Amino acid sequence: MKDFVVFHDVCKHYQMGTHTIKAVDHVSFSVDEGEFCVIVGPSGAGKTTVLNLLGGMDSCDSGRIFLGGRDISALSDRELTDYRRYDVGFVFQFYNLVQNLTALENVELATEICKDAYDPKEVLAMVGLSDRMYNFPAELSGGEQQRVAIARALAKNPKILLCDEPTGALDFATGRSILKLLHETCKKTGKTVFVITHNQAITRMADRVIHLRSGTVANMYRNPSPEPPEAIEW
């Protein structure tokens, strides 16, 4: 589907005392279904705000946001919760696993509340953790924890996968393997994947690249020839 995710003239302002911060200022872009999209920009460019808006964690002041043709900028809090529940898979920089649950249980915690979720064990096998699924997060390495997090996001069978600096807390090699996993997932399952990062290097593997600067879209383009993740270095 073309124009699967659409930002149309979206603004989000924050009031800081007497000062208004335009976190996102008239941002417009659109992404097709199944694309591997990288949103890149320096700190304060509005990446997190875009992520929050796209992830249904916040609502915009003006403009429209569509996902698969549905206007999500006009949803109530309750509807936003359901949106996050059924349509969005979220991968955090710091994994955000529940320490008190095993890898498998962490995945189950997400699938438990979904309608047509994948089998948690299969998903864990897919991310290469079939023999570590009964371990607690504290017993796993950072990369493994992030794989659990990806499995948790994926198992919900969401429409989009939002990854906030997924490699931020990982070393280069592990980070690259995570990117590879995300890329493979994108291509294998046909899910639209957003990677939000400040790392310019990652743009080289993207189907679509959105450059943000000071709350505006500085540049947006389709990458005619994405490189495989293995080729990327930083």
Partner 1 sequence: MVASRKTYAKTLFRLIRGNFGRFAAIFGIVALGVGFFAGMLATTPDMLASVDAYYDSQRTADIYVKATMGITQEDIEAVSAMDVVESVMPAYVTDVLAYTEQEKPLAVRVYGLPLEDMGETGAGTFLNRLELVEGRMPEAENECLAHGLGMFGNGIKLGTVLTVSPEHRSIENLGDVYHVNEFTVVGIVTSPFYFSWEREPTNVGNGTLDAVIYVDESAYALDVYTDLYLTVRGAGDLTAFTDEYEDKVKEVAERLKDLGEVRSDIRYQNILAEAQAEIDKAKAEYYDAKAEAEAELADAWTEIEKGRAELEDARRQIEEGKAELEDAKAKLAAEKANALEEIERGREELAGALSELLDGERKLKEAEQQLEDGWREYRSGYDEYREGLRQMQEAQAAFDQGEKEYQKSLREWELAGELIKQQEEQLAIAESHLKEYEAQYEEQFAEFEHQKKQFDALMDYVLSALAGYGTPFDSEEELFARMEVDPAVSAAVTSVLNAVGAQMSADDLRAGWQEITEAEAGLDRFAAMIDQGWSEWHEGRIRLEQAKAQHAAGKVQLDAVAVELEKGRQQLAAGWAQIYSARSALNDAHRQLEEGQAELEKARRELDDGWKEYYDGQAKLAEAEAKLAEEVAKAEEEIRSAEAELAEAEAEYAEGLRKLAEGEAEYWKAKADVEKELADAWQEILDAEASLSEIARPKWYVFDRSFNVSYSSFSVNAEKIEAIAKVFPAFFFFVATLVALTTMARMVEEDRTQLGTLKALGYSTGAIMSRYVVYSGLASVLGCVVGSFLGFKVLPKVIWGVYSTVYRLPPMITDFRWGLAALSSGLALLCTMGATVSACTSSLREKPASLMRPRPPKAGKRVFLEKVPVIWSRLTFSQKATARNLVRYKRNFFMTVIGIAGCTALLVTGFGIRDSIGDLVTAQFNEITKYDLYIGLDSSSGDDPVVEGFLADPSRVAGYVKFFADSGYVSADGERIEVNIMVPLDAQELPKVVTLRDRKSGKGISFDDSSVVLTEKTAANLGLRVGDVLTLENSDGVSKEFVLSGIAEYYAGSYVFIGRTAYAEEFKEEPSCNVLLVRTHIAGKDQEDEALSTLLSSDAVLVAQFMSQIRESLDTVLNSINMIVVVLLVSSGALAAIVLYNLININIEERKRELATLKVLGFHGEEVAAYIFREITILTVIGTLLGFVLGILLHGFVIRTVETPQLMFGREVAPLSFVMAGGLTFAFSFLVQVAMAPRIWRIRMVDSMKAVE
Q: Say if strands 192-197 and 160-164 run parallel, antiparallel, or are unpaired.
A: parallel
Least distance between partner 1 and beta carbon 176 (Å): 22
Strand ranges, E, within the chain: 5-16, 19-31, 36-40, 62-67, 70-71, 88-91, 160-164, 192-197, 208-213, 216-222
C-beta of 21 vs 101, nearer to partner 1: 101
C-beta of 1 vs 113, nearer to partner 1: 113
Give the CA count within 13 Å in the CB-facing half-sphere of 125: 5
DSSP class of residue 79?
H
Residue of the chain from 21, 34, 132, 136 that contacts partner 1 (CB under 8 A): 136
Are the C-beta atoms of 9 and 28 separated by less than 8 Å? yes
C-beta of 36 vs 92, nearer to partner 1: 92
Q: Interface with partner 1 includes 132 (CB under 8 A)?
A: no
Q: Fill in the per-residue mask, 76 to 95: x = in contact with partner 1 (CB under 8 A), - = not in contact.
A: --x--xxxxxx-x-x-xxx-
Among 63-71, 131-139, 176-184, 219-227, the segment contacting partner 1 (CB under 8 A): 131-139
Residue of the chain from 3, 112, 122, 227 that contacts partner 1 (CB under 8 A): 112
Residue of the chain from 11, 21, 57, 75 that contacts partner 1 (CB under 8 A): 57
Residue of the chain from 62, 100, 141, 214 that contacts partner 1 (CB under 8 A): 100
Give the sign of the dihedral formed by CA 227, CA 148, CA 45, CA 28: positive
Residue reference for tokens 């639209």: 192
C-beta of 162 vs 181, nearer to partner 1: 162
Are the C-beta atoms of 67 and 37 separated by less than 8 Å? no
Q: Interface with partner 1 includes 197 (CB under 8 A)?
A: no
Residue of the chain from 5, 67, 110, 212 that contacts partner 1 (CB under 8 A): 110
Q: Fill in the per-residue mask, 140 to 179: x = in contact with partner 1 (CB under 8 A), - = not in contact.
A: ------------x-----------x---------------
Are the C-beta atoms of 64 and 15 separated by less than 8 Å? no
CA–CA separation, 152 vs 5, rounded Å?
A: 22
Residue type, 64: R
Phi, psi of 106 (to 5 degrees): -60, -35
**Footprint of partner 1 (CB under 8 A):** 48, 52, 55, 57, 78, 81-86, 88, 90, 92-94, 96, 98-102, 105-106, 108-110, 112-113, 136-139, 152, 164
